[in-house]
Homo-oligomer: A and B are copies of this chain.
Amino acid sequence: MKIGILGYGNLGRGVESAIRQNADMELTAILTRRNPADVKPQTEGVKVYSVDDIEQLKGQIDVLVLCGGSATDLPEQTPEYAKYFNVIDSFDTHARIPEHFANVDKVAKENGHVALISCGWDPGMFSLMRLYGSAVLPEGEDYTFWGKGVSQGHSDAIRRVKGVKNGKQYTIPVESALEAVRSGSNPELTTRQKHTRECFVVAEEGADLKQIENDIKTMPNYFDQYDTTVHFITEEELQRDHAGIPHGGFVFRTGVTGFNKENKHVIEYSLKLDSNPEFTSSVILSFARAINRLSNEGVSGCKTVFDIAPAYLSPLSADELRAHML
């Protein structure tokens, strides 16, 4: 499989490194909106193209992985490039998924390509767990918790506060809430009861620390509904102790069965990820394999993780899967 990468940020580099772990894949091209000469891939021999020249790669790429952001990049890019290639993205603005799906589906069908949107872990693996959970335990409750991990959006929000030079925010699930869900008691949990937020802030010299702390803790939507802790640290400490992009979380389905609904069941799925973008990339590549197969079968249109039979994700044959994994 020939893979193209559009966008060489954290996710693009994650895809590049994950390709090395999949023997049936090779990196054919990196596309960038920057000056191609400024992009230095880690993979020997791979060419970097300006996105303006993308059409000349038609026929040379089996799946193009779109590594842009959900706010403005992907709503434009995924439908646009589904004209030329099978494409996959990690569009994660949950509320806009139906609209994005419709836009991509139309173009993909018109051009005979397969697209898969909203791939990664949430949306992605977590979505699959919500679907499997509700299908196998129809009478029950879903719970999704995120963390412990770095929220890019909340870290950005901290950095916009007056007097803040740099900062990083961790989302942390509340242990007692996890335990309550695990017990099968189907608790109703408020936003504050589910997660706490921990901020590591580098203040500008002479800044009013009390004011910064107050501005963060009272920030509407981002922090005001949570118990938030603010730690002031030095830039050196931030670089030393908080350079990573870990993340993770939990999806639960709890439900009952039996003629008198007397039996409880708890399904728990959790991820502990040292690198959010690298794990996301790794998930994307397994689904890229699936859409390449579907494309070879003559399928076209937009898909999500819900539409992919799991066997399509694996390099193993159906016989091998049945013999060794079932």
A37 proximal to B (CB < 8 A): no
Check if B326 sits within 8 Å of A42, measured CB to CB.
no
A131 proximal to B (CB < 8 A): yes
Question: Given contacts A273-B265, A278-B258, A318-B306, are A131 and B325 in contact (CB under 8 A)?
Answer: yes
Stretch from A28-36, A120-128, A167-175, A210-218 that touches the partner: A120-128
Check if A308 sits within 8 Å of B306, measured CB to CB.
no
Binary per-residue interface labels of chain A (107-143) against chain B in the complex, 1 for a CB within 8 Å, 0 otherwise: 0000000000010000101011011101111110000
- In this complex, the member of A125, A258, A310, A314 whose beta carbon has the largest number of chain B beta carbons within 10 angstroms is A310
User: CB-CB < 8 A to A127: which residues of B?
Assistant: 325-326
Bound Cα distance from A238 to B137, whole angstroms: 29
User: CB-CB < 8 A to A20: which residues of B?
Assistant: 259
Check if A306 sits within 8 Å of B278, measured CB to CB.
no
User: CB-CB < 8 A to A7: which residues of B?
Assistant: none
User: CB-CB < 8 A to A281: which residues of B?
Assistant: 257
Question: Given contacts A21-B139, A263-B275, A269-B269, are A306 and B283 in contact (CB under 8 A)?
Answer: no
8 additional A-B pairs beyond A127-B326, A258-B275, beta carbons within 8 Å, are A18-B257, A21-B257, A132-B313, A136-B282, A265-B272, A265-B274, A269-B269, A306-B309
A161 proximal to B (CB < 8 A): no
Q: How far is the CB of A97 from chain B (nearest CB, A)?
A: 5
User: Nearest B residue to A275 by beta-carbon distance?
Assistant: B263
Question: Given contacts A97-B322, A309-B307, A313-B135, are A257 and B271 in contact (CB under 8 A)?
Answer: no
A interface vs B, CB < 8 Å?
14, 17-18, 20-22, 42, 94, 97-98, 101, 118, 123, 125, 127-128, 130-132, 134-139, 182, 184, 257-259, 262-275, 278-279, 281-283, 286, 289, 304-311, 313-315, 318-319, 321-323, 325-326
The oligomer's copy count stands at 2
Bound Cα distance from A118 to B282, whole angstroms: 28
A314 interface neighbour in B134, B182, B273, B289, Cβ under 8 Å: B134
Check if B268 sits within 8 Å of A269, measured CB to CB.
yes
Check if A118 sits within 8 Å of B326, measured CB to CB.
yes
Bound Cα distance from A273 to B268, whole angstroms: 11
User: CB-CB < 8 A to A321: which residues of B?
Assistant: 131, 304, 306
Check if A310 sits within 8 Å of B131, measured CB to CB.
yes
